[in-house]
Amino acid sequence: MTRAAGHIIRGRRPARSLVVQWFTPYLFIAPFLFFFGVIFLGPAIYSLYLSFTRYRGFGTPRWVGLDNYAIALNYHTFWLLLRNSVFYWIAHSLPMMLIAFLLAILVHARLTPWLKTFKAFIFLPQMLATVAAAQLFQNFFGTRYGVLVSLLGVQIPWLTNERLAPWTVVALLIWRDTGYWFIIFLAGLTTINPDIDDAARIDGASELQRLLRITVPLMRPTFVFAFLVDAIVTLRLFAEPNVLAGRPGTLAPDFAAPVLNLIVQNIRGGQFGLAAAIGWLLFLIIAAISSVMLRVMSQRNVAQ
């Protein structure tokens, strides 16, 4: 009995070791939690508070309730700039995703020679800084001294015309971001079991049938991730349109400006509460678009 009891006692873990075992994982993530709270969560909560106040950057914030939100929603420029941001998202997202997916198919199927060079060439624009890429396009589409003007011999106001300027921003987004989503789609293709494609090939399915009936449905989670992330990033667009359509030291005009310009303008004007309200309205719009997209995709999955 004594020997058995000794085995049982030795088999039990001391309470101190259990506490250490429970506490150790949280100790490793403590730096992240600290900086997340200090850098992101704390300022986010404070900006939410500021959105209900009138604050000029000094003194004591004055509580105004929902006045800032009412001002933003009744402000014509807010809806104009929000329409610009939504246009940038819709106009560039579909063609960019299609091009990136087709390039990933070509590389994954090894239909192109010099694969390593080809992949590096596609991803190269993504390695450029955002401002550098925008300045490159500004030199290319310049009205007087642009490369395109020199080639065509005709001055076209690509960056100053209300109809042409937004499309130059779309072209920049497609050119710069295609390489990133090409890598994401290529990674998604590697997760598909090749035995499924081989079985379909043996059954007589053509290349197009295997692509539409097997590859595309199995890539749906990757597509959902891509469209959600691209929507969030594009609706928070700032540098590209301002560098392309704006002059040095100024923001882009309203016909090409993204909605984040309103936040910058209100901060410069000392309207911190209104800027915070616009930021939270943008957050709610992004959250609503994301939830709708997730719901639509989930319904399609259930239907299939």
What is the domain partition of the chain in residue ranges? Answer: 16-67, 74-303
Give the per-residue SS3 of 249-304.
CCCCCCCCCCCHHHHHHHHHCCCHHHHHHHHHHHHHHHHHHHHHHHHHHHHHHHHC
Sequence-distant (≥ 6) Cβ neighbours of residue 80 within 8 angstroms = 254
Q: What 8-state DSSP symbol labels residue 215?
A: I
What is the model's pLDDT at position 279?
92
Show the low-confidence residues of the chain (pLDDT under 70): 1-16, 111-112, 298-304
Q: Which residues pair with 54 in a beta bridge?
A: 62
115-147: per-residue pLDDT in tens?
Answer: 777 788 888 888 888 888 888 888 888 877 778
Predicted model pTM: 0.82
Q: Name residue 69's amino acid.
A: Y
Q: What are the tokens at 265?
A: 């303008």
What is the model's pLDDT at position 1?
47
Fold of 74-303: MetI-like fold (1.10.3720)
